[in-house]
Structure 1
Amino acid sequence: MTAMQEYTTHSREETVALGHSFAKTLPAGALITFTGGLGAGKTAFCQGLAEGLGCTDPVSSPTFAIVNYYRGPRPLAHFDLYRIHTENDLAAAGFYDYLDMGAVVACEWSENCADLLEQEHPIHIDIQRIDETTRRITIE
């Protein structure tokens, strides 16, 4: 297991750029679980992830869709687990299918399924809002 890394970003652009560079370190089928409040920057980080993986689809929050899938040489499945609480719900949303096909899977509201997700050995990313533009991002 790698050691915890902590970053501070000072703009949305810096958060996107951190996601972009972090994407380069990810193996196929990596699972990323996000924690952090509304407006913390999870979707901005995912935008950078998608760009770093070579996806060209525009990134948006998957709040109403449950999952947004971004095509590319290294695809990204971006989940919002706000309304997902059981393994059946995860399976029905295609969660395990995306992991099995080698997509990088990023999950917002991961705390709703923390025990299930932990079985997949995720990379945890916590984004805390310090002020209007500053974010503390912890990766472990």
Structure 2
Amino acid sequence: MTVGIVCETAAHTMAVGRRLAGLLRAGDVLLIEGELGVGKTTFVAGLAEGLGVEEPITSPTFILMRTYEGLMPLTHADVYRVETLAEIEDLDLTEAAREGVLAVEWGNAIEQWMPASHLEVRLELTGGEQRTVHLIPRGPGWEKRPLEEVAV
């Protein structure tokens, strides 16, 4: 079941990520989509905070991938500039997800190479600072998690 959460501020978007972190397990993959500037990295910063990561989260656009240590590892990837299958294979995103959580910005571009079971997180500007965060479970394992509890 898709869950839509209206966020009035960036802090609210972070809070949604923080609450979602409590439902995550090692091996989970999140594909995060939305226009430039919609708050994808802000959402991941909330996830990181919820996973006990103490480092500041920055967009990995130019380095493509960064792993943070917390309660479990969080690998944050940005595939906006990835153009070939070889580049995706070089990142070895599947391996990165084994021990912890993998959050991929612009994930829709590589969905075909990701596990069938993942959570699609779609952020959409709905006016002014307001955005809606859509949590869309894909594949087995996600439909039984109480995603509606993430709404704050």
1:57 and 2:55 equivalent? yes
Aligned-partner Cα distance in 2 for 1:78–1:112:
15
Q: Is the 8 A contact 1:86 1:113 kept in 2?
A: no
Aligned-partner Cα distance in 1 for 2:116–2:69:
22
Choose the corresponding residue for 1:106, options 96, 103, 111. 103
Deviates more, 1:30-39 or 1:64-73: 64-73
Look up the match of 1:71: 69
Deviates more, 1:120-129 or 1:84-93: 84-93
Shift of 1:54: 0.8
Look up the match of 1:122: 118
Unaligned runs of 5+ in 2: 137-152
Aligned-partner SS, 1:38: coil
Unaligned runs of 5+ in 1: none
Q: Tell me the amino acid that sits aligned with residue 130 of structure 2.
A: T
Shift of 1:85: 4.2
Count of residue pairs brought into register by the alignment: 136
Aligned-partner SS, 1:130: strand
Look up the match of 2:149: none
TM-score by structure 2 length? Answer: 0.84
Aligned-partner Cα distance in 2 for 1:64–1:82:
9
Task: Spell out the pairing of 1:1-140 with structure 2 (5 A cutoff).
Answer: 3-100=1-98, 102-117=99-114, 119-140=115-136
Shift of 1:94: 3.0
Aligned-partner SS, 1:128: strand
Aligned-partner Cα distance in 1 for 2:118–2:82:
17
TM-score by structure 1 length? Answer: 0.91
Q: Tell me the amino acid that sits aligned with residue 112 of structure 1.
A: A
Shift of 1:70: 1.1
